[in-house]
Structure 1
Amino acid sequence: MNQRPDGRNVDFQHRYERAYAPPRPDAARGMAPQRPVVPPQPRGGGPYYAGPPPRRGGKFKRILISVLVILLVVSVGTYFWADSKLRKEADLSTVIDRPEEGDGTNYLIVGSDSREGMSAQQRKDLHTGGSAEAGKRTDSMMILHVGSNGPTLISLPRDSNVTIPEFQGSESGKMRPAMGPNKLNAAYAYDGPQLLTRTVEYNTGLHIDHYAEIGFTGFAGIVDAMGGVEMNIEKGFKDDKSGADFEAGRQTLNGQQSLAFVRSRYAFTGSDLDRTKNQQKFLAALANQAAAPGTLLNPFELYPVMGAGLDTLIVDKDMNPYLLGKMFLAMKDVNSGAGKSMNMPVSGSVGGNLQWDQAKVKQLVNELKNDEKVTVTSDQ
């Protein structure tokens, strides 16, 4: 067996070349040379194997998968971070004699005058008065119904004349007797979120699914973290008690101005009823701006806004960031005209407190329970 210097077998090489060499041309018959037969190329990486063809788009796919994984990790981390920041202090499971659940979801949204965490200078700047340890009251109360016929936002005037029924004390767990007719905001002052929820359910017959409350500090902090909220004030007004001093026109309100705007009542002839309308307009504008892509997709805006509000946001024990997000998106829809905002229908006053129109309230609650389009008007 002959060996070449490179170690290959000479006889085998010759036989290989003869087997696959092109046939010689036959001059007598005028035949042209045929195309050579290409020998099969070995898959094991022999001299004729150039390897697999390059895959197109492989690098792009790897980058895309990496980005999606990062976004998933960030989203999940943000969800659990936000959930851990929520103050789940309202235990609605202790509320007694609750109405049956209806279709859709009902949120009780409360703005309290809590001064928790505020310095003396902040209380002065925000015109809140009182001290950090002062008892809390409700400055605003709203029911937000989210269903298949668009959201409905209903303000409950704090001076509404309602019956405070018997209830189970949130701290003692003992049953407390009914207090009879009183202002709606007195229920919160007596025993906090649970009694307020109990009183709203008792006087409306509407089941409350979730509770959300924010105090002065958190409210102003959210607005400032967003860089202000743009509002179109139709008519200028001034209120020394709240610190409000606004001219008519479109303008951006900072945290201090926003708090003055939603708290003002003495500058209006309708007092609390006019104030609730301003509160609805502002909260809808706030939700519209907070849920805008420019905020949600910008971490440098999203996280400061969330951080400013979550620490001071008191919710029920079953609330989570997903449900909270649905609440804000529904309020955004109210602002865009896809929903409805109104006051609780009022028929007059009793002892200076607003008396609800019971016939309209019953019709309104039935429409909400059945998740129907709301046709009731407040005439206010």
Structure 2
Amino acid sequence: MPHTSAPGVPPQTRGPGQGSQHGSNYDPGYGRGQGRDGYDAGHGQPPGGYDSGYSEGQVYGGGRGGTGAPQRGAGPRPDWRRRFKWGLITLVVVVLAWSVGTYFWADSKLRREVDLSIVEDRPEGGDGTNYLIVGSDSREGMTAEDRKELHTGGPTDQGRTDSIMILHVGDNGNTMISLPRDSDVEVPSYTGSESGKHYPAQGRRTKINATYAEDGPALLVRTVEHNTGLKIDHYAEIGFGGFAKIVDAVGGVEMDIPRDIKDNKSGADFKKGKQTLDGRQALAFVRTRYALPGSDLDRTKNQQKFLSALANQAATPSTVLNPFKLYPTMGAGLDTLKVDKDMSLWNVASMFWAMKGVSGGDGKSMNMPIAGTAPNGNLQWDKAKVKQLVDQLNNDEKVTVTSDR
């Protein structure tokens, strides 16, 4: 097929003497190294064209206002979302490990020494959980100097109950009921906790704290159940020394004392008003009765107030979140706390936590209703009110029964 030139484009022929294969329309300066300038000029580029430094090796010139030095690549940005996720996972693992370790450490220190399986003729259980909380005057683990400082008298092993309380934990508010140590009760039949011998009922009546001295926690639980009709689910007991150590471990407990108190027997010496009590002072405060108008009945009210304040102090973030306070507090309490064999660490925590609420909100604290004085001089319970109170506890109802003393 014959070749035809595009319209308007003259045919290119090789001129005389031109060794180049290009036509005459090529910029003649190209052959002298000027082809670049000619190209740029023909395409509207500014004079000088592209960066002339290219031929001098300045490949990374300052085209963006730089100094002409080579620039380092930015690299990948940190993945903060990924870092946060792994940091959170690490924190959770550490907290879980600490929690599990603390649980097993505390559980190993719990003294499960009280066997409630030997308690006979037990009443049926109701709704909620009932704890029998006992403060004994046991001097276990105390030196002669400790006994002197705490005004606890001579050494005894078995001890006596200095305070007896029933704590009911339920869905309609927690209730703490103090049983005065001089309460008149009937001693039921029972099986000796150590001898295994059966002792039949003889209609004998005595102060409630005497049953603890007679055969320990098992007979005390049996006596409480027999005289109230309320089943005790768990038992917890703490001695003088342990009580004082717990108070010192939490840094003391603030109390608002309503009147001046001076009692040489307990060592109490307080002025009216708010003050922070250390372990020695706290023990004196909860033991004082001779300096109070209502004697033992006023003392039980002070004990309830103090236990609630202690629980609130121990449950503050400054204690719970501070291992330097938490471990000494738990150690002081668990070393001297005796509980029944079926009581778990969760039960202990539930009991302690419930103490916080007995002085406010839906909680209630009271003495066992008293009708008067028995012929033997002991305090006689109001049987009708006691029955109503027990019915409300068994049905986990809000307690409406009141005590006038």
Match of 2:164 among 129, 134, 141: 141
Could you tell me which of 182, 194, 198 is aligned with 1:159?
182
1:252-267 aligned within 5 A: 252-267=276-291
Question: Which residue, 352, 357, 361 being the options, matches 2:386?
Answer: 361
In 1, Cα distance between equivalents of 2:359 and 2:298: 17
Shift of 1:135: 3.4
Match of 1:5 in 2: none
Tell me, yes or no, if the aligned pair for 1:99 and 1:205 is still in contact at 8 Å.
yes
State whether residues 288 and 335 of structure 1, in contact with CA within 8 Å, keep that contact through their aligned partners in structure 2. Answer: no
Consecutive unaligned residues in structure 1, runs of 5 or more = 1-50
1:91 corresponding residue in structure 2:
115
Q: What is the one-letter code of the residue matched to 1:65?
A: I
Task: Tell me if structure 2 keeps the 8 A contact 1:157–1:344.
Answer: yes
1:318 aligns with 2:345: no
Where in structure 2 are there 5+ consecutive unaligned residues? 1-74
Asked if residue 233 in structure 1 is aligned to residue 257 in structure 2, the reply is yes
Distance (whole Å) between structure 2 residues aligned to residue 52 and residue 104 of structure 1: 60
Q: Structure 1 residue 330: deviation in Å?
A: 0.8
Answer whether contact 2:172 2:362 (CA < 8 A) is retained: no
3-state SS of the aligned residue for 1:361?
A: helix
Question: In the comparison of the two structures, how many residue pairs are matched?
Answer: 330
For 1:200, the aligned partner's letter is V
Matched, 1:174 2:206: no
- Checking the alignment, whether the CA contact within 8 Å between 1:291 and 1:328 is kept in structure 2 is no
Pairwise CA distance, 1:172? 1.7
User: Matched residues, percent identical?
Assistant: 70
1:74 to 79, 98, 109: 98
Q: Per-residue displacement from partner, 1:234-275 (whole Å, max 9, x unpaired)?
A: 111111100001100000000000000000110112111011
Query: Deviation at 1:178?
Result: 2.7
Instruction: Report the CA distance shift for 1:72/1:341 in structure 2 as closer, same or farther (over 3 A).
Output: same
Question: Which whole-Å CA distance do the structure 1 matches of 2:113 and 2:107 have between them?
Answer: 13
1:245 corresponding residue in structure 2: 269
Deviation of 1:53 (Å): 8.9
Once residues 377 and 97 of structure 2 are traced to their aligned partners in structure 1, the CA distance between those partners, rounded to angstroms, is 55
**Is the 8 Å Cα contact of residues 232 and 250 (structure 1) preserved in structure 2?**
yes
Q: What one-letter code is carried by the residue in structure 1 that aligns with 2:316?
A: A
Query: How far 1:150 moved relative to its partner?
Result: 0.7
Task: Give SS of 2:153's match.
Answer: coil
User: 1:286-297 residue pairs with structure 2 within 5 A?
Assistant: 286-297=310-321
Mapped to 2, the partners of 1:177 and 1:279 lie a distance apart of 34
Residue equivalent to 2:208 = 184
| Kept in 2: contact 1:88–1:314 (CA 8 A) | yes
Report the Cα offset of residue 166 of structure 1.
0.7
Partner of 2:87: 63
| Further displaced range: 116-125 or 329-338 | 329-338
Q: Secondary structure at the match of 2:210?
A: helix
What letter corresponds to residue 189 of structure 1 in structure 2? Answer: A
> 2:19 aligns to what?
none
Superposition misfits of 4+ residues, deviation over 6 angstroms? 51-54
Once the two structures are TM-superposed, the CA of residue 218 in structure 1 deviates from its matched residue by 0.2
Q: 2:366 aligns with which of 316, 333, 342?
A: 342
Q: Counterpart of 1:105?
A: 129
Aligned equivalents of 2:77, 2:330: Cα separation in 1:
50
Q: How far apart in 2 are the matches of 1:226 and 1:195?
A: 33
C-alpha distance 53-313 of structure 1, shift in aligned 2 (>3 A): same
Structure 1 residues 138 and 254, CA, compared in 2 at 3 Å: closer, same or farther?
Answer: same
Specify the alignment match of 1:25 in structure 2. Answer: none
Distance 1:94 1:176, change over 3 A: same
Q: Which moved more, 1:250-259 or 1:174-183?
A: 174-183
